[in-house]
Amino acid sequence: MKINSISSFEAKLEDIASDKSISHRLAIFSLLTQGTCKIKNYLKAQDTLHTLAIIQALGAEVSMDEEFVYIRAPQYIKSPNCILDCGNSGTAMRLLIGILSAIEGEFFILSGDEYLNARPMKRVSEPLKHIGAKIFGRDEANLAPIAIQGAKLEGFNFTSNITSAQVKSALILAALFAKKESYFKEIELSRNHSEIILNKMGACIEYLNQEKTSIKIQPLKTKLKAFEVCVPNDPSSAFYFALAACILPHSRVVLKNVLLNKTRIEAFKILKKMGAKITYYLDNDEFESIGEICVESAPLKAVSVNENIAWLIDEIPALAIAFACASGKSVIKNAKELRVKESDRIKSIVLNLQKCGINAKEFEDGFEVEGGEAKCAKIKSYGDHRIAMSFLILGLKCNMEVDDCECIKTSFPNFIEILKQIGAKVGD
């Protein structure tokens, strides 16, 4: 796909992709409820539609109209007569491993596309096997396809050496079915949507310290309450257009109805440190903090980032574009998790920036970028939606050609439409 540069833009964007993390979770958590759940603004992208198909295969009744997705959970989760296809979604696969491993006597097989089936699952399967889960797969249940024979699980006291909301959520879901209370601890706070949502549904998940890195999970005594929720817009998706406003002089964008959870807006804070003018306006905090973000262009300066990496892991490819347009040398460290995302994002970022004439150096746990004048290049996306979108945004400044942009539909189906809305010329 080719994109031509534009000089500047001003826009108010309301139709940003709704939040992927929350959409996946609401669909999966609905399996634990009694009654009909109503989800407004559910993300209708490839990955989240795969998740709806999976819960339907597990016995849920799923329907939708223009406004809502309706889900009525089955009385019991039963073995499906098909493989459960998670598409490209690590969130779906890891959370489903957690919940399905605890469904006694039932059998499940999870698989995905070629990229997902190369991503590590042992971080979830190994602690679950220690408490009685029966999980099988390639490389000792590290690689999908993953087969699960549901079993009664023990309570656990587990400390994770990976700061991962997916690991935490999988363990929480398993703990809801365990014989007794369980304890989970992580090095630093990861995204906390699962705890927030499940507690509002009636689960008992208690924070044990001020940092909220240690939790206690009580097993469910009854089914959870059905819910009606409106999914906010995804800050990870909104960030691409914040980036565009920052790198194009005299540009301004207002991003509406965006999730403002502190574990999800760290990348915006990094942009502000680099010199961007960013203002937040809170509209609603009944379910999660939701509001608008106003971003105005300003000259960017280099920055070093080595903290709260788990809060901005999805935005790092886009941040790398900001680094390439900033004055000075920027560094990302402590981000080894980038190696096991939809692509090896450290390698993907560095190789593509080098193609654009930007000095970039790869580290084992991050990279270094020296800001400069980016040139038009042919970019390889590696089937990774975030690499593809990040370099299309750079194309707004210097023209670009990016291969395999079909992957963008996994998370942001109308991304190209919004690019056109702000004045970009995009085509094959």
Q: Is 409 annotated as a binding residue?
A: no
Largest CA distance in the chain: 61
Do 12 and 136 lie in a common domain? no
Q: Is 46 annotated as a binding residue?
A: no
Q: Residue 259: phi, psi to the nearest 5?
A: -65, 130
Instruction: Give the pLDDT mean for 343-362.
Output: 97
Q: With contact defined as beta carbons under 8 Å apart, do 216 and 181 qualify?
A: yes
Do 296 and 198 lie in a common domain? no
Does 379 score more than 90 pLDDT?
A: yes
Do 207 and 320 lie in a common domain? no
pLDDT the model gives residue 102: 97
**By CB neighbour count within 10 A (0-12 exposed, 13-18 middle, 19+ buried), where does 402 fall?**
buried
**Residue 15 in tokens:** 């139709």
pLDDT the model gives residue 286: 77
Compute the distance between CA of residue 71 and CA of residue 62 in angstroms, rounded to an integer.
Answer: 5
Cis peptide before 145 (omega within 30 of 0): yes
Alpha carbon of 415 to those of 10, 41, 237: distances in Å? 17, 16, 9
Q: Is 164 annotated as a binding residue?
A: yes
Q: Is 191 annotated as a binding residue?
A: no
Domain final residue, candidates 197, 230, 263: 230
Domain final residue, candidates 230, 265, 295: 230
Do 204 and 278 lie in a common domain? no
Domain final residue, candidates 230, 253, 286: 230
Do 410 and 272 lie in a common domain? yes
Do 213 and 273 lie in a common domain? no
Compute the distance between CA of residue 332 and CA of residue 363 in angstroms, rounded to an integer.
Answer: 9
Among 272-281, 283-292, 340-349, 388-397, the range scoring the smallest mean pLDDT is 283-292
What residue type is 410 in one-letter code?
T
What residue type is 205 in one-letter code?
I
**Helix/strand/coil for 204:** coil
Does 284 score more than 90 pLDDT?
A: no
Does 134 score more than 80 pLDDT?
A: yes
Do 174 and 60 lie in a common domain? yes
**Residue 58 in tokens:** 């597990």
Q: pLDDT band for position 275 (50/70/90)?
A: very high
**Helix/strand/coil for 227:** coil
3-state secondary structure 381-403: CCCCHHHHHHHHHHHHHHCEEEC
pLDDT the model gives residue 285: 83
Active site residues: 314
Do 268 and 396 lie in a common domain? yes
DSSP state letter for 16? P
Per the structure, the complete domain to which residue 35 belongs is given by 20-230
Average pLDDT, the chain: 96
Do 226 and 256 lie in a common domain? no
Among 274-288, 308-322, 351-365, the range scoring the smallest mean pLDDT is 274-288
Does 287 score more than 80 pLDDT?
A: no
pLDDT the model gives residue 44: 95
Do 212 and 266 lie in a common domain? no
Q: pLDDT band for position 156 (50/70/90)?
A: very high
Q: Is 212 annotated as a binding residue?
A: no
362-395 burial, b if ≥16 CB within 10 A, otherwise e?
eeeebbbbbbbebebbebbbbbbbbbbbbbbbbb
32 Cβ contact partners less than 8 Å away, ≥ 6 residues apart: 73, 99, 176, 201, 220, 223, 224
pLDDT the model gives residue 428: 79
Q: Is 15 annotated as a binding residue?
A: no
- Looking up residue 314, the CATH number of its domain turns out to be 3.65.10.10
Q: With contact defined as beta carbons under 8 Å apart, do 366 and 339 qualify?
A: no
Instruction: Give the pLDDT mean for 36-63.
Output: 97
Q: Is 345 annotated as a binding residue?
A: yes
Q: pLDDT band for position 427 (50/70/90)?
A: confident
* Complete edge-to-edge strand list for the sheet that includes strand 329-332: 304-305, 329-332, 366-370, 359-363
**Residue 355 in tokens:** 């193609």
Chain centroid to CA 269: how far?
18
* Complete edge-to-edge strand list for the sheet that includes strand 10-13: 10-13, 252-259, 290-296, 277-284
Do 183 and 253 lie in a common domain? no
pLDDT the model gives residue 288: 87
Do 214 and 240 lie in a common domain? no
Number of neighbours of residue 28 by Cβ within 10 angstroms:
23
* pLDDT 10s digits, 59-118: 999 999 989 999 999 999 999 999 999 999 999 999 999 999 999 999 999 999 999 999
Does 410 score more than 90 pLDDT?
A: yes
**Residue 71 in tokens:** 């889900």
Does 153 score more than 80 pLDDT?
A: yes
Q: Where are the beta strands (DSSP E) in 218-310?
A: 224-225, 228-230, 252-259, 277-284, 290-296, 304-305
Q: Is 20 annotated as a binding residue?
A: yes
How many domains would you assign to the chain? 2
Compute the distance between CA of residue 24 and CA of residue 43 in angstroms, rounded to an integer.
Answer: 9
Q: Is 314 annotated as a binding residue?
A: yes
Q: Is 375 annotated as a binding residue?
A: no
Q: Is 90 annotated as a binding residue?
A: yes
* pLDDT 10s digits, 162-171: 999 999 999 9
